[in-house]
């Protein structure tokens, strides 16, 4: 079972500066765990038979989507605040 989370007390929530966030396309995801391994913040975990992203800590870097071999992660624009 692949499960990784590296948050500690030094981790910081993203806040409102992120411009894009990863969206998992369930019909393409084969749950290989590549996204979990490449996420530099450790915000992606495998739980309850699926992949989940902790958006409180995700920085929106896009590495997970770039490394996904089945193109199951799409970066989508965050809605403008205000």
* Domains of the chain with bracketed CATH: 20-77 (3.30.70.20)
**β-bridge mates for residue 22, sequence order:** 75
The model's pTM is 0.78
Beta strands per DSSP E along the chain = 20-24, 44-47, 50-53, 73-77
> How does pLDDT run across 37-73, given as a tens digit for each residue?
999 999 999 998 899 999 999 999 999 999 999 999 9
CA 31 – CA 13 distance, rounded (Å): 26
Instruction: Give the chain's end-to-end CA distance (angstroms, integer).
Output: 41
CA 70 – CA 2 distance, rounded (Å): 18
> How does pLDDT run across 16-43, given as a tens digit for each residue?
678 999 999 999 999 999 999 999 999 9
Instruction: Name the one residue in this structure whose structure tokens are 């765990």.
Output: 33
């Amino acid at each position: 079972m692949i499960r990784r989370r590296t948050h500690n007390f030094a981790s910081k929530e993203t806040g409102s500066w992120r411009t894009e966030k990863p969206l998992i396309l369930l019909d393409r995801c084969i749950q290989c765990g590549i996204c979990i391994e490449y996420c530099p913040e450790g915000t992606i975990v495998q739980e309850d038979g699926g992949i989940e992203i902790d958006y409180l800590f995700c920085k929106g870097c896009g590495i997970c989507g770039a490394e996904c071999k089945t193109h199951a992660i799409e970066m989508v624009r965050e809605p403008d605040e205000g």
